[in-house]
Amino acid sequence: MKKLLLALVFLSSVLGAKSLEQIYLDNGLEAVRDAIENNLQSKEHWQEMLKGKELKYGYYPAPTFITVVDKTSKKLELLHYENDKLESRFSKTNIITGLMGDKLKEGDLKTPVGAYHITRHFKPSDQYYGPAAFSLSYPNLYDSLRKRDGSGIWIHGLPFDGERIDAEKTRGCVVFDNDELVKYENIVGDKGGVVLINEEGIKEATNEQIAAIFAELFAWKHAWTVSDIKKYLAFYDKDFIRFDGQKYKAFAEMKTRIFNKKESKFINFSKFRIIPYPSVEKGSFFKVMFHEKYLTSSYKFEGEKTLFVRLDGDKMKILVEQ
Say how far apart CA 118 and CA 154 lie, in whole Å: 9
Distance between CA atoms of 38 and 35, rounded to whole angstroms? 5
Please check whether residue 55 lies inside any domain of the structure.
no
Q: What is the pLDDT of residue 168?
A: 75
Q: What is the pLDDT of residue 191?
A: 97
Structural domain includes residue 42: no
The answer to whether position 7 is within a domain reads no
Q: Do residue 216 and residue 315 come from a single domain?
A: yes
Q: Are residues 178 and 77 in the same domain?
A: yes
**Which pLDDT value is given to residue 219?**
98
95 and 125 belong to one structural domain: yes
Residue 278 lies in a domain: yes
pTM of the model: 0.90
Q: 154 and 224, same structural domain? A: no
Same domain, 185 and 81: yes
pLDDT for 18 = 66
Domain count, the chain: 2
- Do residues 120 and 162 share a domain? yes
The 3-class secondary structure across the chain, one letter per residue, is: CHHHHHHHHHHHHHCCCCCHHHHHHHHCHHHHHHHHHHHHCCHHHHHHHCCCCCCCCCECCCCEEEEEEECCCCEEEEEEEECCEEEEEEEEECCECCECCCCCCCCCCECCCEEEEEEEEECCCCHHHCCCEEEECCCCHHHHHCCCCCCCCEEECCCCCCCCCCCCCCCCCEECCHHHHHHHHHHHCCCCCEEEEECCCCCCCCHHHHHHHHHHHHHHHHHHHCCCHHHHHCCEEEEEEECCCCEHHHHHHHHHHHHCCCCCCEEEEEEEEEEECCCCCCCEEEEEEEEEEEECCCCEEEEEEEEEEEEECCEEEEEEEC
Residue 304 lies in a domain: yes
151 and 74 in a single domain? The answer is yes
CATH code for the domain of 246: 3.10.450.50
Which residue type sits at 248?
Y
The answer as to whether 106 is a domain residue is: yes
142 shares its domain with 98: yes
Which domain-ending residue is among 198, 222, 257?
198
The pLDDT assigned to 23 comes to 67
Same domain (yes/no): 173, 121: yes
Q: Residue 120 has what pLDDT?
A: 98
Domain annotation covers residue 131: yes
Q: Which of residues 163, 198, 233 is at a domain's end?
A: 198
For residue 117, with 0-12 CB atoms within 10 Å meaning exposed, 13-18 middle and 19 or more buried, which class applies? middle
Would you write out the chain's pLDDT as a tens digit for each of its 322 residues? 344 334 444 444 444 546 777 766 666 677 667 778 888 999 999 999 999 999 999 999 999 999 999 999 999 999 999 999 999 999 999 999 999 999 999 999 999 999 999 999 999 999 999 999 999 999 999 999 999 999 999 999 999 987 777 767 899 999 999 999 999 999 999 999 999 999 988 999 999 999 999 999 999 999 999 999 999 999 999 999 999 999 999 999 999 999 999 999 999 999 999 999 999 999 999 999 999 999 999 899 999 999 999 999 999 999 999 9
**pLDDT given at position 123:** 97
Considering only CA atoms, give the Rg of the chain. Answer: 22
Q: Could you tell me if 122 and 170 lie in one domain?
A: yes
State the residue range of the domain holding 186.
64-198
* 2 domain residue, yes or no: no
Indicate whether 81 and 188 sit together in one domain: yes
User: Where a domain ends, among 198, 222, 242?
Assistant: 198
Could you tell me the CATH number of the domain that includes residue 187? 2.40.440.10
Regarding whether 178 and 73 lie in a shared domain, the answer is: yes
pLDDT of residue 24: 64
